[in-house]
Chains A and B, each alone.
Chain A
Amino acid sequence: MTKQRLILVGNGMAGIRTLEKVLARVPDHYGITVFGAEPHLNYNRIMLSPVLAGEKTFDQIILNGHDWYEKHGIALHAGDKVVGVDRAARTVTSASGLTLGYDKLLLATGSSPVVLPVPGRDLPGVVGFRDLSDVEAMVAAARTGTHAVVIGGGLLGLEAANGLALHGMDVTVLHLMPTLMERQLDEAGGEDIVFRDAARGVHKRVILRDNRVAGAVLYGDTRDGPWYFQLLRDGEDISALRDTLIFGQGVGAVASDPFAAVAALADTAEVCGCNGVRKGAIVAAIREKGCCSIDDVRTHTKASASCGGCTGLVEKLLAHALGDSYKTESGAKPVCKCTTLTHGDVRRLIKVELLKSIAAIMQRLEWSTAEGCASCRPALNYYLLAAWPGEYKDDQQSRFVNERLHANIQKDGTFSVVPRMWGGLTTPAEPRAIADVAEKFAIPTVKVTGGQRIDLLGVKKEDLRAVWTDLNAAGMVSGHAYGKSLRTVKTCVGSEWCRFGTQASMAMGVKLEKMCWGSWTPHKVKLAVSGCPRNCAEATIKDFGVIAVDSGWELHVGGNGGLVVRACHLLCKVETEAEVMEYCGAFLQLYREEAHYLERTAPWVERVTMDYVRARIVLDPEHRELPHHRFLLSQKYEQIDPWAERAAHGVDAHEFAPLARIG
């Protein structure tokens, strides 16, 4: 049987995707010829902006290599534009003079961009933004020119402007409308609900008509795209969801289960909008074709193969379907955009390569920026501090303002001050001194915190040292309420007063706080001690919680309140106070040495598993003693009250006083 002749005009995404579908359905039916005006293989046009910006190379956006054309016996005429079609004779003619006959003709040429019909539109240096040659022209112009004008402030125009600016050009954007990207962001008609979090770069807009979703624009956080799309397609009445619609499907109870949203998605829900791939097809590819990575899924289903916007969702589907055997790409994310190394890599290499300064890390590990960024610098500073106690000199300029000023910055630029109250206990003199300070410095708000201490809010930066001087004079020290460090040790009244108490929880809390204060940790650390199993100190949602029982103490670890409440895991039961201290020191040190920066104990324990923590701390006494000793060693250098250093000894004076006053 002779094959039918199929000619495709246009070697772009839509045409080739159609061929892929044709080949999947009728593999040997056609002899295929492809004409493309561009002298290239089929590439992902959506990714031209990253190529212009230098984030990707052209090779990285090729969708189908030579091998694909060869495998399917496709004759590719790239760089040879079709200039004529003779429907009567069933032939096409190309610019090079080639005339070929067809049985079926597929036209997938795409469209040409609108260029303003103004004089000078043909001059050299005027380019559209549609194909690789345009990108090459822009990159070449950036090498010699200094100024670029982008006409059109829509998504593509701004991407072009960004790319040109990254090439060092001075860019001006001209736009017809009063606001940029109005087609993406400001759809007219209907009603809309908008959510914006500028700092995280998140913008969500859901457009409604008659209580039905008519459209959605998601920027920065696109997780709920398929859900909105499903609501739109089903024309579902969303009156009941209206209050929380903008927060997405994962709102409320399901938020604690990271897979709730993908599990709830119907099999018919579209996951990849570019290639029209539904959830069912992806799950089938994972189950039946054995896909176990993003690349596998891309190869088999094309999901996430074009714009990449659904990659996170596909990862979740993989993780949901494969469980623990799936290692997410996001599970091993780089520290930040300055490096490709993960937190784990960096921590390991600091020790292996004996790296002892931030500059040494950045140089040896080939950071892409000269001085890092506000994400990696504090992380590296902490890792060095934890790796080389007593040896590494803390880099104040790599610390967040709160840890540099030892107070907590508020939205108006003032600070809050929280003195330590050991185990939540105080004396008549302490609150009296706090009251005096509040009046003397006209501190507007005095609040009792959830951690059993008193917060002075609205303190001016210039007053901080004088406030601390007065608090120090009354015997109080910094409560580190601003730091990635030990915050509070919350206690209940315990056997000293309580009718039900079985052990002296207040005394135990004070002891633990005296041992642990001052230490820098990957994230904040909170402790609690309850004097009986009624657990009034809420010790089972703390990083390290202690609950007294008749025969001794139960130790609980890896819990927290906050956005996602996590109850502790029971570590073990011990009999003596000395054991409580040792297990606590060992646990905190293990966390200090092995967790990622900004990872609290709860996600850390989840990541390394409770079995691992038990193996390191409970099962082998030596395993416990060593980290406990390392904890005490590092504490030798940390237990200095930072307020007294600054108030009485002039440390970091430049942080508190203005450089000059004018006028």
Chain B
Amino acid sequence: MNAAMNWIEIGSVSDIPRRGARVVKVADGDIAVFRTGNDEIYALRDRCPHAGGPLSAGIVHDRRVTCPLHGQISDLGSGQAQGPEGGCARTLPVRVANGTIRLGVET
């Protein structure tokens, strides 16, 4: 990692429903923060690589999310979309400590 990381507190794990997501508003576009059934937290750009749909509104199953617009499935860990079209949503680093989520933003 070249740039220094700024770890910004965005809320607590319990603010996000299990198998759900919430949005963090950032000047250059939304970020979707997911909580899996196992309470793992992942952050992705809230744009499906297929047609730009809001991944935060999708159905979360295991470590994946299905986009609400056309059903494209993306991996939460890598942002990689399945299927012949592929594509990738950018991932952002997150840290969880004592139930508090921090998002890594390059300074």
Interface of A with B (CB < 8 Å)? Answer: 198-201, 203, 219-220, 369-374, 377-378, 396-402, 404-405, 409, 411, 413, 654, 658-663
**Chain A residue nearest to B57 in the complex (CB):** A401
Interface residues of B in 42-57 (CB under 8 A from A): 50-54, 57
Q: A401-B68, A654-B15 are in contact. Are A660 and B59 (CB under 8 A)?
A: no
Interface residues of B in 79-96 (CB under 8 A from A): 83-85
* Distance to closest chain A CB from B25 (angstroms): 4
Seed contacts A369-B61, A400-B59; 4 additional CB < 8 Å A-B pairs: A199-B71, A371-B60, A373-B66, A662-B10
| Cα separation A411 to B10 with both chains bound (whole Å) | 28
| Residue count of chain B within 8 Å CB distance of chain A | 42
| Docked-complex contact A198 and B22, CB < 8 angstroms | no
Q: Which of A201, A220, A411, A654 contacts B16 (CB 8 A)?
A: A654
* Distance to closest chain B CB from A654 (angstroms): 6
| Cα separation A525 to B18 with both chains bound (whole Å) | 31
| Docked-complex contact B59 and A199, CB < 8 angstroms | no
- Chain B residues contacting A219 (CB-CB under 8 Å) are 84
| Docked-complex contact A658 and B25, CB < 8 angstroms | yes
| Docked-complex contact A201 and B83, CB < 8 angstroms | yes
- Chain B residues contacting A396 (CB-CB under 8 Å) are 17, 20
A-B contact pairs, 16 of them (CB 8 A): A199-B50, A203-B84, A370-B62, A372-B61, A373-B61, A374-B58, A377-B59, A377-B61, A397-B18, A397-B60, A402-B68, A409-B54, A413-B57, A654-B20, A658-B30, A662-B8
| Cα separation A661 to B85 with both chains bound (whole Å) | 32
B76 within 8 Å of A (CB atoms):
no
**Chain A residue nearest to B50 in the complex (CB):** A198
- Chain B residues contacting A398 (CB-CB under 8 Å) are 19, 59
* Distance to closest chain A CB from B30 (angstroms): 8
* Distance to closest chain B CB from A173 (angstroms): 11
Q: A373-B66, A397-B17 are in contact. Are A662 and B105 (CB under 8 A)?
A: yes
- Chain A residues contacting B24 (CB-CB under 8 Å) are 658-662
* Distance to closest chain B CB from A646 (angstroms): 15
| Cα separation A658 to B19 with both chains bound (whole Å) | 17
Residues of A contacting B: mostly: mixed
* Distance to closest chain B CB from A387 (angstroms): 21
| Docked-complex contact A198 and B85, CB < 8 angstroms | yes
| Cα separation A372 to B37 with both chains bound (whole Å) | 11
The 9 A-B pairs at the shortest CB distance, nearest first, are namely: A199-B70, A374-B66, A659-B22, A401-B57, A660-B10, A198-B85, A397-B19, A374-B59, A401-B68
B69 within 8 Å of A (CB atoms):
yes
**Chain A residue nearest to B22 in the complex (CB):** A659
- Chain B residues contacting A658 (CB-CB under 8 Å) are 22-25, 30
| Docked-complex contact B58 and A401, CB < 8 angstroms | yes
B11 within 8 Å of A (CB atoms):
yes
- Chain B residues contacting A378 (CB-CB under 8 Å) are 59
| Cα separation A378 to B103 with both chains bound (whole Å) | 31
B27 within 8 Å of A (CB atoms):
yes
- Chain A residues contacting B51 (CB-CB under 8 Å) are 198, 411
**Chain B residue nearest to A395 in the complex (CB):** B19
| Docked-complex contact B84 and A201, CB < 8 angstroms | yes
* Distance to closest chain B CB from A322 (angstroms): 34
Q: A198-B83, A199-B72 are in contact. Are A660 and B66 (CB under 8 A)?
A: no
Max count, chain B CB within 10 A of own CB: residue among A398, A659, A663: A659
- Chain B residues contacting A370 (CB-CB under 8 Å) are 37, 62
Max count, chain A CB within 10 A of own CB: residue among B18, B24, B58, B84: B84
**Chain A residue nearest to B53 in the complex (CB):** A413
**Chain A residue nearest to B19 in the complex (CB):** A397
| Docked-complex contact B37 and A374, CB < 8 angstroms | no
B4 within 8 Å of A (CB atoms):
no
B1 within 8 Å of A (CB atoms):
no
**Chain A residue nearest to B27 in the complex (CB):** A663
| Docked-complex contact A411 and B71, CB < 8 angstroms | no
| Cα separation A198 to B53 with both chains bound (whole Å) | 14
B26 within 8 Å of A (CB atoms):
yes
- Chain B residues contacting A200 (CB-CB under 8 Å) are 71
Q: Which of A199, A374, A661, A663 contacts B61 (CB 8 A)?
A: A374
| Docked-complex contact B19 and A371, CB < 8 angstroms | yes
* Distance to closest chain A CB from B47 (angstroms): 9
- Chain A residues contacting B66 (CB-CB under 8 Å) are 373-374
